[in-house]
Amino acid sequence: MKNILVTGRPGVGKTTLIKKIIKDFELDAGGFYTQEARKGGIRQGFEIVTLSGKRGTLASVNFNSPYRVGKYGVNLRDLEEVAGGAIEEALEKNSFLVIDEIGKMELFSEKFIFLLKKALESSVKLLGVIKLKDNQLTSEIKNRPDTVVYTLDRANFHLVEEKIKRDLGDQEK
C-alpha cells in the first residue's frame, strides 16, 4: 500500500511506533510528528517537530486563538509554516512522507488539508497517524483503495509494528 496509517486512542504509542519504524528502516523520509509540550510534568500543549529538526508550537494552553481543542489554542501559523513546509519539502525531496498527525487540530487549516490531499495523490509513500474518531475527510482517507489503516492499542503494538514493517519490506522489493 502507498499510504500506511496508524490510528488509536491517545497514549497507546502511535508516535512512538512511527519514530521506531523510521529509525529501524532508515527511511528516506521527511515530514513531521507532534509531541506533548510539558512543564513541571503537566501538559501545556503540543509541539511540531520536523524530521529535519525544525520546531513549532501546534497548540498551547497559553495561545489565544479562535481555533480551539479543549483548553488548547491552535497555532495555525506554525502548523502551516513548520508542518506544511515539511510536507512540501518531503514531496519534493523524499520517497517517504511522515504526517503525525491527521487530527482535529491539524484539520482547522485549509492549507494543511490541501497539502494532505496533494500528498495522498502524489507518488511519495505516506506513513502517518490519523485520528480515531472520523469526520468526512478522515473517513474518505481511511477508505482510499491505496491506503491501509492499523488500529493500535497497548496489547498489539508489536503486531502492528511487524505488519507495517512487512508492508514497507514489500514496497522495497
Each residue's pLDDT, cut to its tens digit, for the chain (173 residues) gives: 899 999 999 999 999 999 999 999 888 999 999 999 999 999 999 999 999 999 999 999 999 999 999 999 999 999 999 999 999 999 999 999 999 999 999 999 999 999 999 999 999 999 999 999 999 999 999 999 999 999 999 999 999 999 999 998 876 54
Domains and CATH numbers, the chain: 3-172 (3.40.50.300)
Per-position b or e across 82-108, b if 16+ CB within 10 A of its CB: bbbbbbebbbeebebbbbbbbbbbbbb
Neighbours of 140 (CB within 10 A): 13
Helices 157-172 and 14-25: angle between axes, nearest 10 degrees: 40
Q: Where are the beta strands (DSSP E) in the chain?
A: 3-8, 29-39, 42-50, 55-60, 68-69, 72-74, 96-102, 125-130, 147-152
Beta bridge partners of 55: 49
Grid cell digits, residue 4: 500506511
